[in-house]
Amino acid sequence: MIRLQPLCCAALAGTLVLAPCGSLLAFAADARASEEAPADEGDAGAAPGAEPAPATRAPGDGAALAVRPPELTGAVEAAYPQAAREAGLEGSVVLRLTIDAEGRVTGAEVAEPAGHGFDEAAQQAALRFRFTPARRGDRSVASRILYRHDFRLPAPTPAAAPVAGAAGAVPITGVAGAAPATGPVRAAPVAGAAGPALPAIEVSVRGASEAERLRTSAQAVQVIETVEARRQAADLGQVLARAEGVSVRRLGGLGSDARFSLNGLTDDRIRFFLDGVPLDLAGHSFGVANVPVNLVERAEIYRGVVPLRFGTDALGGAVNLVTDQDTRGAGASASYQVGSFGTYRLTLSARHAHAPSGLFARASGFVDRARNDTPIDVMAFDERGRLSPARGRRFHDGYVAAGGAAEVGVARRPWADRLLLRAFFTSHDKEVQHGLLVDMLDGRVKSPPFGEVAFGRQTGGALLRYAQPFSGRARLDALAGYSYARTTFLDVATCTYDWSGGCVERPYRGEVGDDANDQQVRQHTAFARVNLAWHPATEHVLRFGLSPSHVTRTGRNLVVAEPEKDPLTAERELWSGVAGVEYEARPLEGRLANITFAKLYLQSVRTREHLPSGRIGDVDRASHRVGAGDSLRFRFTDALYAKASYEFATRLPTPEELFGDGGLIVRNVHLEPEASHNVNLGVTLERAETGAGQLRLSASGFGRFTEDLITLRRHLGYSEYGNTLSARSVGIESTAGWTSPGNWLSVDGHVTWQDFRDGSTGVRIQNQPYLFGGVAARARWPEIAARRDALSLTWHADYVHAFFVGPEGRGAADSKAEIPSQLVHTLALTYLVERGGWTVSSTVEVQNLTDEKAFSFYGVQRPGRAAYAKLALSL
């Protein structure tokens, strides 16, 4: 809140100068000296057009004047300088404001500069302020005051604190048109400023959080903050699936394969990152859905248009998971979850920083375990040897994963804004209950289960990251890293299993296909990211990016007696690179923001393969593509803005698509890159405050027009990737939300309709939901048992409309396999306690409350009703 100190006044060269009463004697001497000065000198500090005021006598003269100081009635937030924000710089600027007799700021002189763009930002904002003018008696007069802006980067938000306020500043109360405050704004004299000790209004301007900055930027991005999710039992796949346009469909329980779909495009067409590093190179190679949610601060979902800084070749978008990035102070957190189907999840993290030296250290780890022995409807042989409907249970679907990461570094040093070294290791082991291609009959699994097939992966590596501003206008962000992955696939069983776990011996080995496999695949990856940002002028940024990577892969199938006949032993090499340039401008005082970019994609494949002649020979292939795009945002009001974006995008084949996964997917090194024209258009009403509460609305449309799609071709016993078709996906998505006054009740909903069709036949693509959405409601009761505690009840309802498993254009409608409509409810009860600098929450959650029969993307039944308990602690 803005508070002006008790003020007295003096006339200084015709301008009313306001000061704390304790300083008035000094003012009196200054006033007399001014009266004796020549007119051309005495008027030097007066405001243009200011009304002359009679001389003010000192209090000792016995003449007291009725004076009212100016009051701030219209504040304009100061934009946090982009270069300073990226460099992690903070500063304070003292301005000498000249206010005319109508309350307009006619001058904003820098009395104490801060540099790095802070001075200009504070001046531009202050010149747009409005005041109730100072008054002597019943007459408005001009005045001068000192005004201080403190620019501070956002501190870590407490777990229970909601995001509030306008982007770019701490909201101000007590002035017209301002939002509720998140903290006090003090009034105090500003010492050390040139000239007389004028009264000061001290305003703290806090830079917008990164989540707020991204939401309101020109980028086509949605930001999901995980504050609530970290207290609940939902995994990261479920959290992401509650965003509009996103579908995450699992093959089974924890640790199973998951298909992530964004605006109709799936699988590797969407790239995944952890703190800007490719997810599989950062220690989480088992997919985004299996990343522990308690190690993630927020998820950024980029739709079809991916910023240059990621250095990626995504076709349909990208997801960036952001962990704790704070390098100040100390903190720790832990969570433990236990639940149905033998599920146990543990996460730990801690950090510590030594402010005088800038040294900091951070560590995190997790352990996941699940039996996944969920009930399942199957077709099994009865006592007469006939296939009949039966109720079975998954018996070979367990999952064990563990991993950790540690980093050390320095921050905010003259020679490095940030320098850190990170090392990580993770291990995933997954039992395989059935293959990717499953025979279904009336919603029941007809295929026999696997009883011994297993898949695993161990990943380790390190990366070095460096960031540093130069000359206040440029900033370098660079990283280099190495990752090693070892993948194992075991299929040597001599049994045929049934759904009761029984084994029938047979004379050959292998359950998946005709041959046994005991495979080990080793992959080495070196990668780098170099991003340079240059600010030629205020509100203009030019960025350059270069992102090369080098992959080598080899392996061994131990059941092949002669290594020279083993195709896995071939050494395979893959070079990939993305380079580009990006220009961002924010004219019209930031109301308009535009980003234009161009990219170059390069890839080279070298391997030794079996040639059509039967010999083994070298295969070398190279490809290159270019792309370009633009993102635009226009802000109509503080709460209402529109976005539009376009990219001609390219996606290069991944090592897994080219070389196989060492398991059920075999190699195909002759793949061509995918290409797509991606378009987004939308409008958002963000946090509109009304007397009935806060409203949130958004609506958008999208188009994806793709060529040379890489799809997984399934064969008996194995699969391979191939370029099969062109496609188009168009759709609309919308969200709506409301929060009651006092934040005791909130309701949010989203719905997506998409039409994803084969570009040549016009037939809808199989295995793709086209209508889905969800509703969430949360009721909160504060101070139930003690001060600063809260009880909340959260309900989620997720809906997926019926869709066909196979091609829509083949066969009669009543003969097609269809996944029925699904409506799954989740209910969670959370109790939260805050004390000082720590919080603790406990949650009881029931997922699939009504035991709805839900299905994966292949029609396989997913887990039914399940109960979980979770405890989370943050210090």
Give dist(CA 577, CA 340) in Å, integer: 45
Global pTM?
A: 0.77
Concatenate the DSSP letters of all residues of 807-866 into one string.
-TTSS-GGGS-EEPPEEEEEEEEEEEEEETTEEEEEEEEEESTT----B-TTSPBPP--E
Tell me which range, 27-31, 115-119, 135-139, 305-309, is most confidently predicted by mean pLDDT. Answer: 305-309
Least confident of 185-189, 513-517, 711-715, 731-735: 185-189
Do 122 and 95 touch, CB atoms closer than 8 A? yes
Mean pLDDT of 528-544: 94
Fold match flag (7-208 vs 213-572+589-874): no
In whole angstroms, give the CA distance from residue 182 to residue 12: 37
- CB neighbourhood size of 288 (10 A): 21
Of 185 and 743, the one with more pLDDT: 743
Instruction: Tell me the residue length of the chain.
Output: 875
Residue percentage of the chain with pLDDT more than 90: 47
CA nearest 107: which of 123, 93, 130? 123
**Per-residue confidence at 375, pLDDT binned at 50, 70, 90?**
very high
**What CATH number does the domain located at 7-208 have?**
3.30.2420.10
Question: Over the stretch 67-114, which tens digit does the pLDDT of each residue have?
Answer: 677 877 777 778 888 888 877 788 888 888 888 877 888 888 888 888
Per DSSP, the three-state class of 610 is strand
Q: What is the mean pLDDT of the segment spanning 714-742?
A: 85
pLDDT mean over 693-716? 88
- How distant is the alpha carbon of residue 15 from its chain centre? 52
* C-alpha–C-alpha distance, residues 632 and 336, integer Å: 43
Average pLDDT on 201-213 reads 59
Spatial separation of the C-alpha atoms in residues 230 and 779, rounded to whole Å: 17
| Mean pLDDT (whole number) for 468-479 | 90
Distances (CA, A) of 734 to 685, 743, 821: 11, 23, 20
pLDDT at 96: 86
Compute the average pLDDT of residues 771-798.
92
The token pair that represents 207 in the structure block: 């830079």
What is the three-class DSSP state of 113? coil
Distance of alpha carbon 484 from alpha carbon 523, whole angstroms: 6
Three-state DSSP at 662 gives coil
Instruction: Evaluate the CA torsion angle 229, 232, 236, 238 in order and state its sign.
Output: negative
d(CA 596, CA 650): 17
Pairing between β-strand 246-250 and β-strand 258-262 as defined by DSSP bridges: antiparallel
Comparison of pLDDT for 347 and 686, the residue scoring more: 347
Q: At residue 27, does pLDDT exceed 60? A: no
The answer, yes or no, to whether residue 355 has pLDDT greater than 90, is no
Q: Rounded to an integer, what distance in angstroms lies between the CA atom of residue 418 and that of residue 467?
A: 5
Tokens of 265: 């495009």
The CATH number of 213-572+589-874 is which of 3.40.50.620, 3.40.720.10, 3.65.10.10, 2.40.170.20?
2.40.170.20
In angstroms, the CA 491 to CA 453 distance is 5
Question: Can you tell me whether residue 241 is helix, strand or coil?
Answer: helix
Cα 754 → chain centroid: 23
The domain ranges of the chain are 7-208, 213-572+589-874
Q: Which of the residue ranges 46-60, 112-126, 349-363 would you say has the lowest mean pLDDT?
A: 46-60
The position carrying tokens 């409203």 is 695
pLDDT, average across residues 230-251: 91
Q: What average pLDDT does range 198-209 have in this prediction?
A: 48
